[in-house]
Structure 1
Amino acid sequence: MHYPSIFNDAIGPVMRGASSSHVAAAHRIGALARDYMNGDFHTVLIEYDPNGSLEPTHESQGSDMGLFTALMGWDVTDERMTEAGRYLEESGCSVEIRITDYGATHENTYKLTLESDVDKVCMIAISTGGGMIEVIEINGIKLSMFGDYHETLIFSEDETLVDGQNADYILKRQRVIQVKGQDFVTVPDGIEVRTMAPVLPIGARKTMMVPFVDTTSMLAFNEDKNLSLWELALKYESARGNISEEIVFEKMRDIVRILDHSIDQGIKGTTYEDRIYPAQAPKYKEKTGANNFLNLGLHNDVILAVTALMDVKSSMGVIVAAPTAGSCGTLPGTCLGVANALNMDEDQKVKAMLAAGLIGVFIAHMATFSAEIGGCQAETGSGSGMAAAALVTLFDGTLDQSIGAASMALQNTFGLVCDPVANRVEAPCLGKNVLMAGNALSAANMALAGFDPLIPLDEVIIAMHQVGQSIPCELRCTGKGGLAMTPTGQKIFKQMNN
């Protein structure tokens, strides 16, 4: 079973770009393809299916850019990302992008073909939300690869080539033997073997077990332990990643420091040519002290932090997809906006973000973070539920209050559509991040006041996923409905795509 990870699925990756489903996922797919070819190729063909969501958004939301950056061998935070395509062509590569009806069955399907003088790979992969991927086909052979294992592919019909005791997770798909893990594999000369390194920060292993997978099993696990949500997050991620709880805590501290730096950067102001909005956070900061401005208290601090993070994202600065780049303001802006305004210490921030991450694990396990599958409720909606639990943790609420806050916040997000204007993750994305931050503030206070969420969190997550799948595809990040199709939205599209 593929168990979600806090740092793989819910909070991360650290990245540049507008969309984790586009930039980060594409980067991971490109990195695997480059690894397969050992970095040796001179021809690149990228194909998008016209029936998917990437056909209208691959350029404006950064899929091409993410692939190019990975194919250059650069990190997803490399500041040269916007010019990666030019660098790739200048290196001698022939690059072509086609729209091809190849029968893609998933909204976010990538088909990437790399070729050298002596070798070739055709990889089909899907982006599942928040930068997570699954490679589903290599050179016409079906398989399943999430990027969290060292993978050895042995192209032979003779599965006895591999010692089953050392490679007990052998998956035979037509004529490929897929060996997960770092087991030493010896095969006869003449048998084609390829190895690929993991692209996710937290690796997997064959004997992986987790203590729980949803709130129901978590509460059963905690029955005789009386742990808080952030402590349970440590237990989960430690077991999931086979790392110590101390390492988990410090990894989240690194995330918090990146986010605080991004918020500061956004408040100071950002510049970038290819964006709809100019920098908004400095204007908001200036206005908060004016007499003709509503005194919303902590809510104003949250709006400022959310806006700052969205500004940094739109200017190609470094952000953390939490859970996605399109919703990068909701959770961290709410949590850190409140914590910083109240001068809370860094450990409190880390605990709150860990609590949020565990709620994200449950969402990833039972639903999706992909707007292409579930609309904006899957992105900013999920972020709002995670943020509500984080806020309760900041104020030392109980485990039940944290879960209840997440449930109430998620209940309020059902049906939230994704209709980005001009295929940029700016409008109405900024407003929806701010809206869902306010929703988290309200849900947290309601939970701390003892409001009953009525519907258990697990049931809410499942229902949210069902609602998201029923949203028309035009309103799931395709730019083919809602505000994107208004006369003004179409005018902006033409201006941005001249």
Structure 2
Amino acid sequence: MLKQPASIFNDVIGPIMRGPSSSHVAAALRIGNLVKQMVKGKLKEVIVEFDTKGSLATTYHGHGSDIGFVGGLLGFGPEDDRLTDSLKLAEKQGIVVSFKIVDYPAKHPNTYRITVISNDNEIKRLTAISIGGGMIEVQEIDGFEVEISGDFYETLIFLNKIDEDILKQKADAIKALIGDFDFCNCLTNRQRGLINVKTSCQLPDKVIKQIESFEQVENLIQLIPVLPIISRKNCNVPFRNIGEMLQVALEGNLQLWELALMYESARGNIPKQEVFDKMKEIVILMKSSIEAGLKGTSYEDRILGPQAWMIEKCKKENKLIPGIFNTVIAYITSMMEVKSSMGVIVAAPTAGSCGVLPGTIIGVATEMGFSIDDVVKAMLAAGMIGVFIAEKSGFAAEVGGCQVECGAASGMAAAGLVQLLGGSAQQCVDAASMALQNILGLICDPVAERVEVPCLGKNIMAGANAIACANMALAGYDKVIPLEETLVAMDEVGRMLPPELRCTGLGGLSTTETSKKIYNALKKRAEKG
């Protein structure tokens, strides 16, 4: 199957969620949701194994992978307010879920090896990974290698006592019966077969029953997508790289937000107005989250208490160095506090960096009197830059360090600010490149396994970097290194970082004595509660 182009709403701006980490909570929830669909009977037992050398072995509880995964098993959405109680709710329903640390050769640091058992004694084994920003991929089911990202309706047809020739005949008959399908993969493994059909809509019950009646078909599973934008074959977008995009901008005299509308409309096969309206809903939610955070949040299992109000208070008392950035600090802090208290936020591009984009763009827009539609355009522009980052490196700190989370958000915010001020597409791209150049090598070293420290400071630093680089681009500064080359360098640098500095809790501030003391204190508090 050809790799689908990145989507602003799948890969970059979203999901709307609760929890400290999109790689952990939202992605785990999506994996759990697909696991739930793997069996037809009631869930009885689910075993999740994390590799000893992967990031999840040390962070799955502190970052909320457990509550997210179990929430998915229970059918919750990523924004559901029951998420924090998902472990207890599963236990009440008689579902036994265990998380184990096992030594096995995982290829990705965010690997889930899962066994699911139903009350009807159905057993399914699968391997899935979290690849950043809530995005996932199921890589193996019952020994068959698959590519399931949650962006298609998936029909999995398992056959027994079969060889490649018979499997091909069965597949041809099934394809003829379905008619309109996007992709069909046929796999064999020791006289067993799997036909995986991907479609952009659910197959009718009549077709399903006909397939199930075929000789040698032993089981059929249907999976409903977990991503907001459905993929399809022949998914053509107006440009696939930055050079092509800037050429389209030049020829059509288009701003970056208009290019984003054009791109996402083609990617999702939806009208441009729907793209704009969808982003507007997201911006409104972001503003609501900021307002909620400024009022103060409370949550036991976190390091930092509410602090966003302190900036506003000191501003009124003239105790701060004046300037627009004080509002940005307050807004970024507010958003991070909502995230850490399990409030509703937008992972943009991740939950760990969720303060940068809204805090910076909405903060500047508020201070300068821009309208909500202006903010929507700025966020679309930022999302377009995020598409290229998603294509080049992705947003997983476990793979590339915090430079692909807070760093990526800084580059996106810089482009968004240039758009807000009416800059050209070229200036937006240049601002993003400068911002990313400044932040290469940023490590991920969360204190006490919580996405709070030094995450808050890095979000605020990323906002300051975005403002500086937006002004530099608008003033005409030379970015020197084009964004395309900067993205390649960022990916290379991220993979050079030692695993200890990539969200494993095994290096940097994570291993300080104070971090250990905070971790133990939080653990004791949780045990008492």
> Which bracket does the TM-score occupy, shorter chain normalised?
over 0.9
Among candidates 376, 386, 399, match of residue 373 of structure 1: 399
Q: 1:391 to 1:95 in 2, by over 3 A?
A: same
Matched AA of 2:91: E
Shift of the alpha carbon at 1:159? 2.9
Among candidates 162, 175, 180, match of residue 163 of structure 1: 175
Q: Tell me what 1:484 maps to.
A: 510
Matched AA of 1:95: V
Matched AA of 2:97: V
Query: Where in structure 2 are the equivalents of 1:333-344 lying within 5 Å?
Result: 333-344=359-370
SS of residue paired to 2:43: coil
Residue by residue, what CA displacement relative to the aligned partner does 1:3-34 show, whole Å, maximum 9, x if unpaired?
Answer: 11000111000000000000000000011111
Shift of the alpha carbon at 1:80? 1.3
Shift of the alpha carbon at 1:177? 1.2
- Alpha-carbon distance in 1 for matches of 2:319, 2:280: 38
Q: Tell me what 2:101 maps to.
A: 99
- Alpha-carbon distance in 2 for matches of 1:446, 1:92: 59
Among candidates 297, 304, 308, match of residue 270 of structure 1: 297
SS of residue paired to 1:224: helix
SS of residue paired to 1:365: helix
Q: Please report the TM-score for the alignment, with normalisation by the length of structure 1.
A: 0.97
Shift of the alpha carbon at 1:400? 1.0
Point out where structure 1 has 5 or more consecutive residues left out of the alignment.
none
Shift of the alpha carbon at 1:38? 3.8
Q: 1:427 to 1:217 in 2, by over 3 A?
A: same
Matched AA of 1:306: I
* Greater Rg by CA: 2
Among candidates 244, 267, 271, match of residue 244 of structure 1: 271
Q: Tell me what 2:9 maps to.
A: 7
Point out where structure 2 has 5 or more consecutive residues left out of the alignment.
525-529
Matched, 1:137 2:140: yes
- Alpha-carbon distance in 1 for matches of 2:281, 2:142: 39
Matched AA of 1:346: I
Q: Tell me what 2:74 maps to.
A: 72
Given that 1:52 and 1:104 are in contact with CA atoms closer than 8 Å, whether structure 2 keeps it comes out as yes
Name the count of aligned residue pairs: 497
Q: 1:223 to 1:113 in 2, by over 3 A?
A: same
SS of residue paired to 1:497: helix
Structural RMSD (CA): 1.3
- Alpha-carbon distance in 1 for matches of 2:244, 2:67: 41
Q: Tell me what 2:527 maps to.
A: none
- Alpha-carbon distance in 1 for matches of 2:480, 2:40: 54
Q: Please report the TM-score for the alignment, with normalisation by the length of structure 2.
A: 0.92
Query: Where in structure 2 are the equivalents of 1:178-217 lying within 5 Å?
Result: 178-181=196-199, 182=201, 185=207, 186-187=210-211, 188-189=213-214, 191=217, 192-217=219-244
Residue by residue, what CA displacement relative to the aligned partner does 1:346-380 show, whole Å, maximum 9, x if unpaired?
Answer: 11010000000000000001112000000000100
Given that 2:30 and 2:136 are in contact with CA atoms closer than 8 Å, whether structure 1 keeps it comes out as yes
Shift of the alpha carbon at 1:193? 1.3
Matched AA of 1:215: I
SS of residue paired to 2:469: helix
Matched, 1:19 2:21: yes
Matched AA of 2:458: K
Q: Tell me what 1:442 maps to.
A: 468
- Alpha-carbon distance in 2 for matches of 1:27, 1:137: 18
SS of residue paired to 1:310: helix
Shift of the alpha carbon at 1:168? 5.5
Shift of the alpha carbon at 1:86? 0.5
SS of residue paired to 1:442: helix
Residue by residue, what CA displacement relative to the aligned partner does 1:408-462 show, whole Å, maximum 9, x if unpaired?
Answer: 0010010100000001000000000000100000000000000010111111111
- Taking every aligned residue pair, what percent have the same amino acid on both sides? 50
Task: Identify the range of structure 1 (362-371 vs 154-163) with the bigger mean alpha-carbon deviation.
Answer: 154-163
Given that 1:180 and 1:206 are in contact with CA atoms closer than 8 Å, whether structure 2 keeps it comes out as no
Matched AA of 1:163: K
Matched AA of 1:249: F
Task: Identify the range of structure 1 (213-222 vs 384-393) with the bigger mean alpha-carbon deviation.
Answer: 213-222
Shift of the alpha carbon at 1:173? 2.6
Matched, 1:220 2:247: yes
